[in-house]
Amino acid sequence: MTHGTTWQHTTVLLAEAIDAIVNQPDGVYVDGTFGRGGHSRALLARLDPQARLVVFDKDPEAVAVAAALAAQDPRVSVVHSGFSALATELAARGIARVNGLLLDLGVSSPQIDNPARGFSFRHDAPLDMRMDTTRGETAADFLARAPERQIAEVIREYGEERFAVPIAKAVVARRTGGGPVRTTRELAEVVARAVKTREPGQDPATRTFQALRIFVNAELEELEQALNAAVPLLAPGGRLAVISFHSLEDRIVKQFIARASREVVDRRVPCAPERAMPLRALGRVRPAAAEVQANPRARSAILRVAERTDAEVTP
């Protein structure tokens, strides 16, 4: 973080998420994406003194904020890890069941607005994009070593970018010419030259930056791992609440909840009763118009909520 600068973050769907997840004030809760703590602080305000809150985050800056909160509130435990480590980290703390799990999948405003993090093309900075700056490969390192085909696949699959092939060709051509892409502005310029048309109001580099961020941080794989771990961790009546910000994430969450909440008939035994499923879908929530007006970054957010039933979890 730049010295002397405090990057502000406005929590999206704050009241809606807390209302959705808290149904046992003395229980155990998990905030899988602490960020700057907006949801966690609101959760703590609703929880009893004997409740517990375990917060996860990859970002060392977020972990520092969380540690300061834990120093003030003994209900809080902090894990410097992505939420794919839910099961192992909770087990290490003697926690077998939780009453609520919240995942806010958005990139926090401090990550976007701090030029040094390399998430945004609005500032020129090293092309980093890692949530956890203490480990892993940067976006620049990936573009410097990956073959053209892999770069195109990443941009197409994670950015839903129809110009993925010409963008990848341009990146590799620049690298071959002795000037690999190392900064956000360099990448934005390469993309702008390769993309011939774009939707009104959208920067040509938007989809490519999204794709690289998702790939570098293994965001979709981690989400799938966390969702699979969540169901057996939830106590009966426990709630799962997930806020997503783009179609790739939301599709994973929507399909997961649908699979885990739809009663299934065994076609091999037509007379057998339907098998109860471990989740019950409670619906989805979009931000109100007033929230979107006050915080435009909320416009694409979708909150999906499900509740654990008494049904056994089957492989």
Every domain of the chain and the residues it spans: 14-110+219-308, 133-216
Give phi and psi for 144, each to the nearest 5.
-80, -20
Highest mean pLDDT among 6-15, 45-54, 304-313: 45-54
Average pLDDT over residues 218-239: 95
Instruction: In whole angstroms, give the CA distance from residue 83 to residue 175.
Output: 35
Q: What is the pLDDT of residue 4?
A: 37
Q: How confident is the model at residue 233 (pLDDT cuts 50, 70, 90)?
A: very high
Residue pair 83/219 in contact (Cβ under 8 Å)? The answer is no
Return the percentage of the chain with pLDDT > 90, whole number.
71
Report the range of poorest mean pLDDT among 48-62, 177-191, 220-234, 301-315. 301-315
Structure tokens at 47: 């929880």
What lies within 8 Å, CB to CB, of 216 at 6+ separation is 129, 130, 136, 137, 138, 139, 142
Name which CATH class applies to 14-110+219-308: alpha beta
**Residue 213 pLDDT greater than 80, yes or no:** yes
C-alpha–C-alpha distance, residues 239 and 21, integer Å? 5
CATH no., domain 133-216: 1.10.150.170
The band of 179, judged by pLDDT with boundaries at 50, 70 and 90, is: confident
Percent residues over pLDDT 70 in the chain: 87
Tell me the pLDDT band of 141, cut-offs 50, 70 and 90.
Answer: very high
